A and B are shown apart, each in its own frame.
Chain A
């Protein structure tokens, strides 16, 4: 088969390049094989994949330590494991700026609602790693005080150990990167009702809207108010 090579027009879009490559291969490969080849080998980088690649390589974990594992979590930033090699070293103190919540330690019943709220405050795309035995299964304690993190929020990767070595956590983060890049979401979010739970500050419609001191309300995605707005402003 003769393949004619021509320079592609500059303004040719991505889709038409894919179609052209498919035409070029017709005859050599058929139907499904052709589809797969085009998908994988010729033009792998669809936009989604490019985004997933970028997301997976620039995870911003949150500065959030609970107990013993937090010390080992700190050491992944230090010289020996140095997670900066993979681009995950930028720890962010605010949940709004972070996209990975590493639950490092034991989750008590008093802390669990706080953690869920922090997770809800993080913006999509967001991921969670449960580090260590305690927050995966309550570990050696297994008593009244602790709650496994799977009970109240979706966890993407569990890292076993008590506490896990820094290398183990680094491995867990790399697993998470693979997961993000291959889009293996597995429906976790839906099961935990954890999609679109970001708290949104909505300015109420009305003549005073937008001005300082105007009525604001914080709602979740169902429109249920999380904090009440000021009394007299509600009528406006």
Chain B
């Protein structure tokens, strides 16, 4: 039997009827289907929850409802043309997807990225992290009934997207990162606008805390709910804010710095209990830390080129095309065939807003990647939902799902 047929068979074998758990007449188990269309699943996740009364005994996530075949599509495109499709995997952290992919290809090529490009990458990555956390905070608070948070968070998100639009021309899926650096230098006025945002952001984050952390309903829904200890999380390969909330300060920006992250001073927020409240607090504290990194990167921005100077890989500057035959040939070769990458494999992990985002690229020496695979943190972290919510109330399942923050585009790819 094919894998698909097998899957269908298993899916159809799920019984939704009430079944006795052998604990007398009043104790029976109920299978409840949540999703794929459900506002609290943050996308098209389907959960089959086994309930005993109001208590969740087990959940089975069923994924694949936004499977887009991005990894396969990337194999059919030349290296630099695969960036836009790779960006669309985890649609809240597009700069991170591009960074992981570009980093892997740069490793294969042995390409050095100029310092200014590295700093610009850091600025955009951290802006993206704030943006992702803001969308998470707004929608999660919405799930917990704190409606006004949504408007506050999306206000700041719009400011960040304006900055993205300024530097790249697009709000989402900007394709700002190129292999070898960034697409263009930041335009005039960007630095001032960014500085204004950086100055305002800590006060905004304080505002969020004031709104949420004095709210009794929110506190009782988050505090001491769905605790999972560090060892179990490590057993599930969970990374990112979920692991840090349990007290493990694992962050690839510190553990294995990339793109000049070792130049900046910042702290890794960790939790102590590992409950939903810590998961919220860790991400909230990261808003401040990311702002600090942006401030340092912006004020220490080195001068120099924004992209590597390897004409076999990087497009020549536009003005050279009119005067240099060689530049024209390079341009033609790059645009039609693309560049060839030496045979080999590379895995490039970075710290995305949700955890370790790694891109594995295998090259067979041609101009197209032989395999592109993403180790997406949403996919791995989603597995930990079941042990988290076991034996807790179904209302806590919604809160936990919000705090796990899975992005289904990244899960299904």
A interface residues (Cβ-Cβ under 8 A, vs B): 63-68, 70-72, 74-75, 77-80, 93, 95, 105-106, 108, 110-111, 114, 118, 134, 140-146, 162-163, 165
Contacts and interface: CB of A to CB of B under 8 A. Distances in A.
Given A67-B91, A75-B157, A110 B172 contact: no
Given A141-B70, A143-B69, A162-B173, A68 B37 contact: no
A108 B64 contact: yes
A120 to B, nearest CB: 13
Contact of B158 (A68, A75, A143, A146): A75
B89 to A, nearest CB: 10
Interface centre among B43, B68, B85 (most CB of A within 10 A): B68
A80 B154 CA distance: 9
Contacts of A141: 68-70, 73, 85, 88
Given A74-B154, A75-B158, A144-B72, 16 more contacts: A66-B44, A68-B88, A68-B91, A72-B171, A74-B139, A75-B157, A77-B150, A79-B151, A79-B154, A93-B38, A108-B68, A111-B36, A140-B73, A145-B67, A145-B68, A163-B173
A63 B40 CA distance: 10
Nearest to B91: A68
Contacts of A140: 73, 84-85, 88
B73 A72 contact: no
Contact of A78 (B39, B67, B68, B154): B154
Given A79-B151, A79-B154, A114-B37, A66 B66 contact: yes
A182 B172 CA distance: 34
A110 B65 contact: yes
Contacts of B84: 140
B367 interface: no
Contacts of B412: 108
29 contacts: A67-B408, A68-B91, A68-B172, A68-B173, A68-B409, A71-B92, A72-B171, A74-B135, A75-B157, A75-B158, A78-B150, A78-B155, A79-B155, A80-B158, A95-B37, A108-B64, A108-B68, A111-B36, A118-B37, A134-B68, A140-B85, A141-B70, A141-B73, A141-B85, A141-B88, A143-B68, A144-B72, A145-B69, A146-B68
Nearest to A75: B154
A177 B215 CA distance: 40
Contact of B66 (A93, A105, A165): A105
A143 B88 CA distance: 14
A108 B67 contact: yes
Nearest to A93: B39
Given A66-B44, A80-B158, A141-B70, A72 B172 contact: yes
Nearest to B72: A143
Interface centre among B150, B151, B154 (most CB of A within 10 A): B154
A108 B65 contact: yes
Interface centre among B38, B44, B85, B155 (most CB of A within 10 A): B44
A159 to B, nearest CB: 14
B198 to A, nearest CB: 21
Contacts of A72: 171-172
B12 to A, nearest CB: 14
Nearest to B69: A145
A74 B151 CA distance: 10
Nearest to B77: A140
A111 B37 CA distance: 10
Top 3 A-B pairs, shortest CB-CB distance: A145-B69, A78-B154, A68-B91
A68 B44 CA distance: 12
Contacts of A144: 69, 72
Contacts of B151: 78-79
Contacts of A70: 43
Contacts of B39: 63, 93
Nearest to A162: B173
B158 A110 contact: no
Contacts of B154: 74-75, 78-79
Contacts of A165: 171
Contacts of A114: 36-37, 65
A228 to B, nearest CB: 13
Interface string B66-97: 11111011000000000011001001100000
A68 B409 CA distance: 8
B166 to A, nearest CB: 14
A79 B44 CA distance: 26
Contacts of A134: 68
Contacts of B64: 108, 110
Nearest to B155: A79
B159 to A, nearest CB: 10
Contacts of A142: 73
A198 B44 CA distance: 23
Interface centre among A78, A95, A165 (most CB of B within 10 A): A78
Interface string B18-59: 000000000000000000111100011000000000000000
Contacts of B158: 75, 78-80
Interface centre among B88, B173, B409 (most CB of A within 10 A): B88
A106 B412 CA distance: 12
B65 A106 contact: no
A162 B171 CA distance: 10
A164 B66 CA distance: 19
A134 B85 CA distance: 12
B66 A108 contact: yes
A130 to B, nearest CB: 16
A66 B69 CA distance: 15
Interface in B116-175: 135, 139, 150-151, 154-155, 157-158, 171-173
